[in-house]
Chain A
Amino acid sequence: MKIRKSSIAAAVATLAAGAMLAVSTPAIADTPNLLVWVDSARKADFSGPVADWAKANGVTVTLTGKDFGTVRDALKTAVPAGTGPDLLIAAAHDWTGNLAAAGVLRPVTLSAATSSTLASNALQAFLFNGKQYGVPFYTENIALVRNLKKAPKAPTTGAQIKNGELLIGTYGAVGGDPYHFYPVQSSFGAPVFDSTSKGWTSTLGMDGKEGLTFAKYLATKGQAFFGKADFGWDNAICGIKNGTLKYWITGPWAVSSIENGNSKCTAKSVINKDYAVSAIPSFGGQTARQFMGAKGGFITNSPSTDVVNATQLLTYLAGKEAGINYFNLDNFTPANKAALAVASSDPVLGAFAAAGKNAVPMPNIVAMDSVWDKWGKTEAKIVTGKSTNPSADWTAMTTAITALIKG
């Protein structure tokens, strides 16, 4: 019995100590507070505007950096588990379909007045099944860069470009580069997917005769026209600087290398003196439309999401001041029109933005994941002259992609 007593005493002591040690759980806070997930690399761009907004509105905002490569899937796990944030910002617009279908987003309703302050194609980038699922902050697109000494005037059609003068991206002989080739393809009237006013559909748009015309065009022109595959980034930079390459279809990320050069060609280049940026001309007769990529914010669909404050913060981050901030800090093209007007005073940004006037948002539907690989390989095969029957290869590709999408 002695043992029993001491055991009971020990048990009581243990439980009492445990209860005392247990920190009193913080009362589930009901005062407005927002948890915001942001791409770690972009956190600095947002901490200022977010802090400003939080201070002005008396809301506690916690900005948590997340790895860009994994945050999309992390959100899909966190929201059903009840541990998701209120907002995900600096997110890519092409996640929209995937996240919306997973049920972790709720549409954002912007007033007509707010919508009218934003570039319409940037807004459209976050449109899925006819609902606006996100708000754009800034955008990015490719354009035609040319050497001003060799090509003083911007070409108005692809026919003005001769063999050996053009390079598209730095496409690979194996994987291709459908992203950089897209303006050429779209100018043949062969969009990757069909679209309606509600956004992209999952019906392929490049499987018709326009697609085949484009495939034949790729085969006829070949590497003589489109440049050598695996030409290499450094060669492209030097080529456009010294004029061995007259035209280069590339994005704003190439600008600092073009201006400062690299180990092979060190001379400085200045925009509108040595090189210029302009719209991509039409190769197939219709308007050349490159892809536009937008970064923006989503509101999560969770019972704990503070819809009011989340919407207000998103609207603020899409506003003029925040937009100018993105430009000042990281040279991004603001989606806000008023901010863009200010940022366009920068000649590089202004030129890329003007050249991207007709850009279409990259499809944000789940089916897009099925497209890239086969698309790029088929294009590379045709351009590099390895295809004996371009039309058949193109059709095989579209058939395979359609099968993939249907699953």
Chain B
Amino acid sequence: MTNPFAGGPDRSNINRKSVKQLYDGGTPSLRGTIIKIALLAILDAVTIFVTFILFMRHLWLAVGIAVVAMLIINWLYLRRGGLPAKYLAPGVVLLIAFQIYVLFFSAYTAFTNYGSFHNGDQKLAVSAIRAAGYGVVDGAPQYDVHLVKTEKGSIEFLLTDPVNGKVFVGDSANEKLVEIPACSTAIADIIKNNSTSVSTADCETVSLGDNLADAVSAPGYAAAEQKGLSKAKLNTLAATRLYVDPANHEGQFVKTDDLMVAITYQTELVWDAKNITFTRVTDGVVFKAAEDGYFRAEGKADGEKVSDIGWRVEVGFKNFQTIFTDKNLRAPLLKIISWTFIFAGSSVLTTFIAGLAIALLFNDERMKFKRVYRSLMILPYAFPAFLSAYVWRGLLNTDQGFINNVILGGNHIPWLTEELPARSAILLVNLWLGFPYMFLITTGALQAIPAELTESATIDGATPWQILRQIKLPLLLVSIAPLLISSFAFNFNNFTLIYLLTKGGPMDSATSGYDAGGTDILITFVYKIAFSGGHGQDYGLASAFSILIFIVVATFSLVSFRRTRTLEDVN
């Protein structure tokens, strides 16, 4: 097939010109052109809109990708010819967006320490650590805050200490506090004389009742309001630090988060943006960015952490190393891997045997009402699996479940809460869920086996068993083996069933290290690590596991497909 668009039975009759025309897309009609331009215009409009947003967020790489992608798509559809590309382009774009990107992202994540403690980038971690890098000084002054405007028009804080009546104004340019004696006197008078009177000529005050008053303006400082200030300005004000001793930036400072009360804090960590270090004020220990995504003392791998807050870093093969060498992981992992193979293997085997048996039965010509039976048999397959799993969980309940209470006459078999019963219950439920599929495909394959073959075998004196073993089964397997392999791969990652039925439990309360349950298969175990792990989430480790699972399933499928080829040779 040199030209996929020239296929079909009349291929030889198509002359070169028409092939070329087809490839070029023929002569465009006016209507077609208009529709094309309209659709492209909509696409471009959306892209330009998105680009604007990305541009505003300074995401340059994304802007570049969006623009280049837009130009390529426009070029593809506006030029003449290149029909295959026009057909393929939408698919390729979606493939890149929803498959390739996701694949590469999880593969990349496997080589990082992305998780609970390494959630964002270093910038986020630094800002979070800095925001927690100072502490309230108990007993130190907490001031009432009023905003004032200087003659030059900048906003400053007018701070009144409600305890001793001292009034300060902030000097944000020099990061210091300046007392306004006139105001201090005025407030002190109000406190002393139990008066409620307000303003003096030099300092306007506002009474707060209970003989308390705040200064609201002072000579050179006019009262100002929070309303009307921009968000950026508000954040600048909230970040303003007024040092008690302007020469000592490692000491106490006054700061307000809500522009209502200013609190005296003690610096605990000093951030050095140039060298990317934190220095602890109490003992002078310098914390540097360590390779594992934490600020550690002197940046040493085993140094003390400045905080639990870390950032995402690339860790090479560390996650894979953990999987293969972590002693806490080894015992549970071996158990889980063996159960995953047992589960997937037995599921395929039991469903196949059950499906085949029923298919053989219903394939018998003497059977009546075959269609009714067949329809009934497909019912479990028609229900959504998660619904069936929930129903089965109810049926299998130890005390109230139908199976224990009615079928087993009041027995208390812990179907879902002890390892061995739980494992058999899971296989049982999966048999129920899976046999209709096997029944369907084997019925189809059986009907495709020519009746002459079985007839001639019967004439040759073969028993029904021999016919099944030596004629039907080999023929069946040629067409069904690939489906069995895919069924194995599906069950290998059958998250829904396990999670809905037992959540991987029962857990062994004395298991050390990782929480591995009795019915956990690899994928549910990975889910636990990724989303509900004992020590926070660990997406990096979970991604590494996912890659290994992919390799296991891919290898298994590849080897099996090779094997099935030999089956075809036999025939």
B290 to chain A, nearest CB (A): 16
Q: Does B120 contact A (CB under 8 A)?
A: yes
B128, A301: Cβ atoms under 8 Å?
yes
8 Å CB contacts to A: which residues of B62-116?
74, 78-80, 116
B74, A131: Cβ atoms under 8 Å?
no
Q: Looking at chain A, what size class is its interface with the partner chain?
A: 35 or more
Q: Does B189 contact A (CB under 8 A)?
A: no
B263, A111: Cβ atoms under 8 Å?
yes
- Please tell me which stretch of A25-33, A181-189, A284-292, A333-341 contacts chain B, meaning at least 4 of its Cβ atoms lie within 8 angstroms of it: A25-33
A369, B399: Cβ atoms under 8 Å?
no
Contacts of A366 in B (CB 8 A): 116-117, 308, 535-536
Contacts of B142 in A (CB 8 A): 111-113
A 390-407 binary contact with B (CB < 8 Å = 1; else 0): 000100110110011101
Q: Which residue of B44, B258, B514 has the most chain A CB atoms within 10 A of its CB atom?
A: B258
A104, B128: Cβ atoms under 8 Å?
yes
User: From B145, which residue of chain A is reached at the shortest CB distance?
Assistant: A111
B 118-153 binary contact with A (CB < 8 Å = 1; else 0): 011100110111011001100000100000000000
A104, B119: Cβ atoms under 8 Å?
yes
B35 to chain A, nearest CB (A): 12
Q: Does B533 contact A (CB under 8 A)?
A: yes
State in angstroms the CA–CA spacing of A318 and B136 once bound together: 20
Q: Does B333 contact A (CB under 8 A)?
A: no
Q: Does A146 contact B (CB under 8 A)?
A: no
8 Å CB contacts to B: which residues of A352-407?
366-367, 369-370, 373-374, 377-378, 381, 393, 396-397, 399-400, 403-405, 407
User: From A376, which residue of chain B is reached at the shortest CB distance?
Assistant: B509
Q: Does B259 contact A (CB under 8 A)?
A: yes
B234, A397: Cβ atoms under 8 Å?
no
B309, A100: Cβ atoms under 8 Å?
yes
Contacts of A76 in B (CB 8 A): 116, 119
State in angstroms the CA–CA spacing of A397 and B509 once bound together: 6
Q: List 20 A-B contacts (CB under 8 A).
A: A10-B33, A18-B43, A25-B52, A30-B231, A57-B227, A102-B119, A102-B120, A103-B120, A104-B120, A105-B128, A106-B128, A109-B136, A109-B257, A113-B261, A306-B231, A366-B116, A370-B534, A393-B509, A393-B510, A407-B534
- Given A31-B230, A111-B142, A174-B506; 14 other pairs, CB 8 A cutoff: A7-B78, A7-B79, A21-B41, A25-B52, A29-B231, A73-B531, A98-B116, A100-B132, A101-B117, A307-B234, A373-B507, A373-B509, A404-B514, A405-B535
- Which A residues have a C-beta under 8 Å from some C-beta of B? 3, 7, 10-11, 13-15, 17-23, 25, 28-33, 57-58, 73, 76, 79-80, 82, 97-98, 100-109, 111-114, 129-131, 174, 230, 301, 303, 305-309, 311-312, 315, 366-367, 369-370, 373-374, 377-378, 381, 393, 396-397, 399-400, 403-405, 407
- Which B residues have a C-beta under 8 Å from some C-beta of A? 33, 37-38, 40-49, 52-53, 56-57, 74, 78-80, 116-117, 119-121, 124-125, 127-129, 131-132, 135-136, 142, 226-227, 229-232, 234-235, 237-239, 257-261, 263, 265, 307-311, 328, 399, 414, 417, 506-507, 509-515, 531-537
